[in-house]
């Protein structure tokens, strides 16, 4: 879309002419801009020109978090499959100890939001990839079938995961009954807590962006927060004070849960992310 056409779409969506449009880094999908509408009104605009644009799903997830929790997320101003306009949130993806503690408090509160089943009433996305959310009473079954096996089979279909690795994952999957725990209740999850999806200013978290929402075990959220070093000791100490983390998480379950985001990365970025999965399979004799 040309700049003039984009300005026209934004003006139609918001009922006001943009004063300035500038590029913004980040995000896996489409083009991202900051747009100044008035003297004190700045928004973020995502535009996806692809044939299967689904930015309205991201809007749904942001609105779901806004409606069902106190997690700070940008307000959605306009949503269509190819265009998303949302509130601009000040902040950067760097966290001091106080900001990590604040993140722990926010996620602990988010994880107190509960549902009767794992999954969600509709499917969502993670990093632009389809994420099935069949409502399932068993967390182990949900994680096995709708996270690990789903993503592994898709990676194989797309040529990013060979048949031998898929067979090892299929051998590993039934062992999950004895390796991960059922939660007291399914908790609301942001679903994609890695560094650039969290914004902070000084000692406070200002926003969580780019969610992959569903209900499940909070341990998968905590595991993801360790995968690329999003949060460290200050976060986990504070979270544990609010919601004790069961024994065995850091020793074993964390790496099992991180097989899911690693499979996401295999599909998006290639086989270099298989090494972490391979270690888990080796550890469990698969």
Task: List active site positions.
Answer: 192
CB-based burial label for 68 (10 Å; 0-12, 13-18, 19+): middle
What's the rounded Cα separation, in Å, for the pair 86 and 84?
Answer: 7
Alpha helices in the chain (DSSP H): 3-14, 55-68, 97-110, 139-143, 150-157, 163-172, 218-227, 233-242, 254-257, 259-269, 274-283
What's the rounded Cα separation, in Å, for the pair 139 and 272?
Answer: 29
| Cβ atoms 197, 74 nearer than 8 A | no
Strand 83-87: give its sheet, edge to edge. 20-23, 31-38, 41-47, 83-87, 76-80
Within 10 A of 81 (CB to CB), how many other CB atoms are there?
14
| Cβ atoms 93, 200 nearer than 8 A | yes
Helix axes 233-242, 97-110, angle to 10 degrees: 40
| Cβ atoms 84, 46 nearer than 8 A | yes
| Cβ atoms 68, 82 nearer than 8 A | no
List of residues 6+ apart from 191 with CB closer than 8 A = 124, 126, 131, 211, 212, 213, 214, 221
């Amino acid at each position: 879309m040309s700049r003039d056409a984009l300005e026209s779409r934004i003006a139609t969506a918001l009922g006001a002419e943009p004063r300035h449009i500038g590029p913004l880094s980040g995000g896996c999908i489409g083009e991202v801009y900051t747009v100044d509408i008035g003297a004190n009104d700045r928004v973020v605009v995502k535009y996806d020109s692809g044939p299967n644009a689904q930015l309205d799903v991201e809007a749904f997830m942001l609105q779901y978090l806004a409606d069902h929790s106190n997690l700070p997320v940008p307000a959605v101003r306009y949503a269509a499959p190819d265009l998303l306009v949302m509130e601009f949130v000040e902040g950067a993806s760097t966290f001091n100890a106080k900001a990590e503690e604040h993140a722990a408090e926010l996620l602990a509160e988010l994880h107190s939001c509960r549902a009767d089943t794992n999954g969600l009433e509709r499917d969502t996305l993670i990093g632009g990839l389809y994420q099935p959310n069949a409502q399932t009473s068993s967390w182990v079954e949900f994680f096995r079938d709708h996270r690990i096996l789903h993503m592994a089979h898709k990676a194989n279909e797309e040529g990013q995961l060979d048949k031998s690795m898929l067979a090892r994952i299929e051998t590993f999957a039934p062992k999950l009954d004895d390796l991960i725990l059922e939660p007291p209740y399914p908790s609301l999850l942001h679903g994609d807590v890695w560094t650039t999806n969290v914004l902070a200013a000084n000692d406070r978290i200002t926003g969580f962006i780019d969610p992959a929402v569903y209900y499940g075990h909070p341990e998968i959220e905590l595991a993801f927060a360790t995968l690329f070093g999003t949060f460290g000791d200050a976060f986990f100490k504070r979270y544990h004070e609010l919601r004790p983390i069961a024994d065995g998480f850091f020793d074993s379950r964390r790496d099992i849960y991180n097989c899911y985001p690693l499979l996401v990365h295999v599909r998006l970025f290639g086989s270099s992310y298989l090494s972490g999965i391979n270690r888990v399979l080796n550890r469990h004799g698969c």
